Amino acid sequence: MNTKYNKITVLDGVIDKLKKASENIQNLVIPQDIPHGDMPGDKVEIEEVHINKAKTIFPLLVKELEDKMSANPYNRAVVAVCGGSGVGKSEIASLLSYMLQSAGIGSYTMSGDNYPHRIPMYNDAERLHTFRVCGIRGMVDSGVMNPENASKIRELQKAEDDANKAHLETDTWFRSYFEAGKEGLKDYLGTPKETNFEEVDQIMKAFKDGADKLYLKRMGRDEASLWYDEVDMSDKQVLIVEWTHGNSDYMSQVDIPVLLNSTPEETLEHRRSRNRDGKLDSPFTMLVLELEQNKLVEQAHKAKIIISKSGEILTFEQFQKLMG
């Protein structure tokens, strides 16, 4: 058998399927219940806005897949769908995977949120602990640590208000605490201190190297919800990873990063609309979201596809202008 000829023939068939699916994507009917990512307990609610975005992205994704799959000896590629809080990563990743499956291209959706070193409860605690330890050290280094200021910080911490920027306007010494805490938190979020990027990268590489089966991690919200499933990849050609950190510099195996963009104002408005009791996020949560957003902006130049929250495809230059 002529192996080279056989691979070319298979690739031609894959590309033909992709092109045909791209041409007919607007006519594809999406059922209400489609398979989604592998994060335990993840709630995926697909709405018309997600479908429209996915259909806008899909033809551009097909073009990128043609190049990447052609370069891979197994005609495989890894796609990362990334973005900030509430931008629809899970929904759009699930839709893109469904569209590929409907075209006859095997696809699997993997959640990067399964790969922190700690379950959510402990990771949230570690984030806050990191902010506070670094903040206190910042006060010492700046010479503003004294019994009076230490007492004030303790009160703010008890009230969960020690990440509130409003205090910068009233207490000059507070800047030392806030800026040092923010820098320490930045050094933790989305880094190997928080997440096992190496494991995710190894999974992607194994997939692109033709692995028929992969052991994929599952992480719930309690200590007893942690295990691995053996997943059959023998009929999969595209691995889609949905994750805030999908475009991180700590990974080398992502072929096509897709950035679902949302401005800080849009993100805030979305979170307000989801809070039925009318309560806003804590100052610390808002700081975390701000730092994650900054990292997304810093990494955006690597994205192959960028789409705005309103569903428009953006060039990198347009993205820069939009983000100010």
pLDDT tens for residues 70-84?
999 999 999 999 999
Q: What would the pLDDT profile of 299-314 be if each residue is shown by its tens digit? A: 999 999 999 999 999 9
- Residue 238 pLDDT: 98
More confident site: 193 or 33: 193
Is it the case that residue 90 has pLDDT exceeding 80?
A: yes
Question: By 3-state DSSP, what share of the chain in percent is helix, strand and coil, each rounded to 5?
Answer: 50, 15, 35
Q: Name the least confident of 37-46, 121-130, 154-163, 302-311.
A: 37-46
Is it the case that residue 298 has pLDDT exceeding 60?
A: yes
Q: What is the mean pLDDT of residues 195-216?
A: 98
Is it the case that residue 5 has pLDDT exceeding 60?
A: no
- Residue 176 pLDDT: 98
- Residue 272 pLDDT: 67
Is it the case that residue 15 has pLDDT exceeding 70?
A: yes
More confident site: 323 or 313: 313
From 14, 46, 41, 53, select the one nearest 258 (Cα to Cα): 53
Q: Which amino acid is at 187?
A: D
More confident site: 238 or 85: 238
For 218, phi and psi rounded to 5 degrees?
-125, 130
Q: Where are the alpha helices (DSSP H) in 87-231?
A: 89-102, 120-142, 147-158, 174-186, 197-208
Sketch out the chain's domains with CATH numbers. 3-115+197-323 (3.40.50.300), 120-186 (no CATH)
Q: What is the mean pLDDT of residues 126-151?
A: 98
Is it the case that residue 277 has pLDDT exceeding 60?
A: no
Q: What is the mean pLDDT of residues 287-293?
A: 94
Q: Name the least confident of 37-41, 137-141, 236-240.
A: 37-41
Is it the case that residue 264 has pLDDT exceeding 80?
A: no
- Residue 9 pLDDT: 58
The answer to whether 131 touches 114, Cβ cutoff 8 Å, is: no
Locate 314 and state its tokens.
């953006």
Q: Average pLDDT, whole number, for the chain?
A: 92
Cα–Cα distance measured from residue 294 to residue 44, given in angstroms and rounded to the nearest whole number: 26
Is it the case that residue 149 has pLDDT exceeding 80?
A: yes
Query: Could you give the 3-state DSSP secondary structure of residue 77?
Result: strand
When pLDDT is cut at 50, 70 and 90, the band that residue 10 belongs to is low
Is it the case that residue 271 has pLDDT exceeding 70?
A: no
DSSP 312: -
- Residue 3 pLDDT: 46
Cα–Cα distance measured from residue 305 to residue 16, given in angstroms and rounded to the nearest whole number: 22
Locate 182 and state its tokens.
């923010």
Cα–Cα distance measured from residue 232 to residue 214, given in angstroms and rounded to the nearest whole number: 7
- Residue 1 pLDDT: 41
Is it the case that residue 211 has pLDDT exceeding 60?
A: yes
- Residue 4 pLDDT: 45
Cα–Cα distance measured from residue 200 to residue 195, given in angstroms and rounded to the nearest whole number: 9
